[in-house]
Structure 1
């Protein structure tokens, strides 16, 4: 349901800014609704009754600006506009916090569905579900084929030592939320560090590539890739490992984490990996390391959510079960890593 002023979005101030920066864009007064499903940044669907746009801004009361870099998201989406990677068109970036209380950007609205659960996929049937998911490695190959220099992203990250820095970063995140004993977590972290693979040539990486971060259109094609807040230049196989991890069936019930992999017709992780390898020509022989690393990252993220829940800093359904999932993902990470 549309609201006149949803939390974090003053529509009068937004309209005034758009009129100044993009005169003639608006045809009437604005209304907006919060788009559910985002993990951190706030997303709004805005309309003037004729056109529709998406507004993205950091969460309310955020502290670490680097974790919610609007200019970074806007830059990568703009750079990929004329490539085979499907992304929304960008309208403007505003880095002045006086307008909405934080930096934000506006992009075009793209029609499509972000499938987040097996239940949402079920009406498609097994064959359509299979085709939808098989489009993901194709989209990933398109992204990893983009020449960063050619699209102005040559300085978008520091590929040297990428995996070591990623492991350190998530290790620090773990320490920041460590409040209980987690059997196997330190073992998984140490084993990942002891078996670091040699990265292939760097590419633009999405950082959080999975089915519910893309929009699928009525023809079952990927209409747009969303949520670029973790994008950078780095090891492309980190994207593949994350996709593989989310495509493996987890031994959990009633999970608040994505359940799309349990939908009838969903391809196996092995099929998606094989398809990526065939289309990209990359060596994926160490993909188990990358998948185990994805399990480690998700375990750290979930532990952080659990820690905030114990402090009373989260509200909403499902948070009380997050802590039970962490050991499952640790065990899955260790099992995957031992496969070599």
Structure 2
């Protein structure tokens, strides 16, 4: 039977040992029955690989690290599964975890299975009624904020996630943390961290204007359109995806991340809207007001979190640009990512000047 399963599908680039997976599934209950009847690789993030697995009449999503494992790839995958499991029963829209495998020998890496969600997660041209109805597009913004506020309301201690990060002095540590990340790329031949503009100016402002209302909660870390699945049946979120950056921090950073992905007429040049068409989406001010109404937080210090989101993401993105200098990433991809990082720092400078 094991050989028959292996022969029915290609090896999926060596990412899934189907015979081993089939044997492992037979030891689990409640996630389909019988042998694997279908496997399809899905498009997803750059860091991880995602597959649609069919077993009998049941479909499930298998999520595992990419082919080239990094030192903490398996640990990160298990943390994702742990967080999603902890969120069960909360108001945060998310896929339900069906099973977790902490044994990398089964398919070559730790993985987890989760329920498939209806809808789409993407940037670019919107599908279905989102493309034709401005009211549906407006609902997308509201749904993003509602999801971020719901996650921000989760008590990490009560959810068993108190050890997810280092909450002590979180706000004070942010500038140094991400500046160190940026400067670490300097070991790459051909890369100069000084190519990213406004780093010193924005960093000083963030360090000198720490918010007085400081909270610690669960932070998704990459809350934006490509990581959120929207239903095609109604203008709502089916689930938030891609939790590999989840940690403890101030939940307002997730809202800052959403704002950084937004587009408004007075933004710096050089960035197109993340999804199209863009008309119908609300302003950043409206998003902030909605989050405040949902969370009860004082939103007057939101510019700090908006600027921090731009600063952090720009520093992270420069890693791809540095990799392109070393020939590990196509040059055009590196240049494109560097252009976005430059836009983010230019936007951060605009925020702190207001």
1:5 and 2:19 aligned:
no
1:303 maps to: 318
Query: Residues 57-98 of structure 1: CA distance to partner in whole angstroms, max 9, x if unpaired?
Result: 122223230696112111110011111112111111112121
What secondary structure is seen at the aligned counterpart in 2 of 1:151?
coil
**Of 47, 52, 75, which aligns to 1:45?**
52
1:173 maps to: 181
For the aligned residues, what is the CA RMSD? 2.6
1:86 maps to: 93
What secondary structure is seen at the aligned counterpart in 1 of 2:158?
helix
What secondary structure is seen at the aligned counterpart in 2 of 1:42?
strand
- Structure 1: 4+ residue segments shifted above 6 A: none
The answer to whether the 8 Å contact 1:200/1:236 transfers is: no
Q: Give the structure with higher Rg (CA).
A: 2
2:81 maps to: 74
**Of 215, 220, 229, which aligns to 2:229?**
215
**Alpha-carbon distance in structure 2 between the residues aligned to 1:264 and 1:28:** 48
- Trace 1:174-323 onto structure 2 (pairs within 5 A): 174-178=182-186, 179-180=191-192, 181-182=194-195, 183-217=197-231, 218-249=233-264, 251=268, 259-260=274-275, 263-315=278-330, 318-323=333-338
Shift of 1:238: 0.8
Shift of 1:171: 1.8
**Alpha-carbon distance in structure 2 between the residues aligned to 1:214 and 1:28:** 31
Query: Residues 122-163 of structure 1: CA distance to partner in whole angstroms, max 9, x if unpaired?
Result: 624212111122111112222222222332223333322112
The answer to whether the 8 Å contact 1:144/1:236 transfers is: yes
Shift of 1:11: 1.9
What secondary structure is seen at the aligned counterpart in 2 of 1:204?
strand
1:145 maps to: 153
The answer to whether the 8 Å contact 1:11/1:31 transfers is: no
User: How many residues get paired?
Assistant: 336
The answer to whether the 8 Å contact 1:215/1:222 transfers is: yes
The answer to whether the 8 Å contact 2:32/2:55 transfers is: no
The answer to whether the 8 Å contact 2:131/2:276 transfers is: no
1:134 maps to: 142
Shift of 1:101: 1.8
Shift of 1:277: 0.7
Query: Residues 26-81 of structure 1: CA distance to partner in whole angstroms, max 9, x if unpaired?
Result: 33324323322314222222223521111111222232306961121111100111
- Which stretch shifts more, 176-185 or 316-325? 316-325
1:163 maps to: 171
The answer to whether the 8 Å contact 2:220/2:254 transfers is: yes
Q: 1:322 to 1:22 in 2, by over 3 A?
A: same
Q: 1:65 to 1:207 in 2, by over 3 A?
A: same
**Alpha-carbon distance in structure 2 between the residues aligned to 1:67 and 1:205:** 20
**Alpha-carbon distance in structure 2 between the residues aligned to 1:316 and 1:56:** 29
